[in-house]
């Protein structure tokens, strides 16, 4: 299911407030079969800049349109929708398969793995189309891997923007640990967990 933006974004969940861009662990983002090493990082940008194509873009190697993009997050997130802005002249990806919380997978792995969800994509040059997730399956996502097996006939695949909408579920784990340590009651303070709010259940 896709969401066409024929409404005022300020009145819906498609505003920048729902963008997960700031929760992407950008230094750890990677791609397989990218023509220019590290170019995948350029496709992640603020929602307002999704149509800015003046910089780099992600492109597959000549004659091989398949791409595999790995995106870890700095905290667990809930993903409501995914937006892809591809290239022109048949270079936009035509299909997307998604895997969550699977680190280090490659092309041979994804051929035999069941995707969490799959979409047939359309050419989306204006960034006005979002693909809605099966939200219940995207609740505690530490990392997401996007598999683009083919395109619309181009010799390479190009992606200018990848965006996620949703919400972060918790702070960074190291920050949470520090906060909890500072908030832990004094050993001589015998308040029960209920009285102190019991707010440490998410800490691992």
Query: pLDDT tens digits, residue range 139-160?
Result: 999 999 999 999 999 999 999 9
Give the residue extent of every domain in the chain.
14-172
The CATH class given to the 14-172 domain equals mainly beta
Please compute, for residue 30, the number of CA atoms within 13 A of its CA located in the half-sphere on the CB side.
Answer: 7
Q: In this predicted structure, what is the pLDDT of residue 8?
A: 40
| Rg of the Cα atoms in the chain | 19
**In whole angstroms, what is the distance from residue 100 CA to residue 116 CA?**
7
Task: Please report where in the chains the tokens 């066409």 appear, as a residue.
Answer: 4
Q: Within the chain, what is the greatest distance between any pair of CA atoms?
A: 70
The SS3 assignment for 179 reads: helix
**In whole angstroms, what is the distance from residue 161 CA to residue 182 CA?**
40
Q: In this predicted structure, what is the pLDDT of residue 168?
A: 93
Torsional class of 137: left (φ above 0), alpha (ψ -120 to 50), beta (otherwise) = alpha
% of the chain surpassing 70 pLDDT = 75
Residues 6+ apart with CB under 8 A from 174: none
pLDDT for residue 202 is more than 90: no
Torsion on CA atoms 120, 20, 167, 180, rounded to nearest 10:
140
What confidence tens digit (pLDDT) does each residue in 158-174 have? 999 999 999 998 755 45
What confidence tens digit (pLDDT) does each residue in 76-122 have? 999 999 999 999 999 999 999 999 999 999 999 999 999 999 999 99
Q: In this predicted structure, what is the pLDDT of residue 186?
A: 53
User: Two tokens at 5?
Assistant: 């933006």
């Amino acid at each position: 299911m896709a969401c066409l933006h024929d409404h005022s974004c300020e009145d819906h969940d498609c505003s920048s407030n729902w963008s997960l861009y700031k929760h992407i662990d950008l230094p750890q983002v990677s791609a397989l079969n990218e023509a220019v090493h590290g170019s995948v990082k350029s496709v992640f940008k603020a929602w307002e800049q999704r149509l800015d194509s003046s910089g780099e873009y992600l492109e597959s190697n000549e004659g091989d349109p398949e791409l595999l993009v790995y995106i870890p997050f700095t905290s667990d997130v809930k993903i409501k929708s995914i937006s892809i802005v591809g290239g022109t002249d048949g270079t936009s990806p035509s299909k997307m398969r998604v895997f969550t919380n699977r680190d280090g997978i490659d092309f041979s792995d994804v051929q035999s793995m069941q995707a969490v969800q799959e979409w047939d994509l359309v050419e989306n040059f204006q960034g006005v189309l979002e693909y809605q997730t099966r939200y219940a399956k995207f609740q505690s996502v530490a990392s997401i891997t996007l598999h683009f097996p083919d395109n619309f006939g181009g010799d390479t695949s190009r992606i200018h923007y990848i965006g996620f909408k949703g919400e972060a579920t918790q702070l960074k784990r190291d920050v949470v640990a520090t906060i909890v340590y500072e908030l832990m009651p004094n050993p001589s303070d015998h308040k029960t967990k209920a009285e102190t709010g019991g707010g440490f259940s998410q800490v691992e």
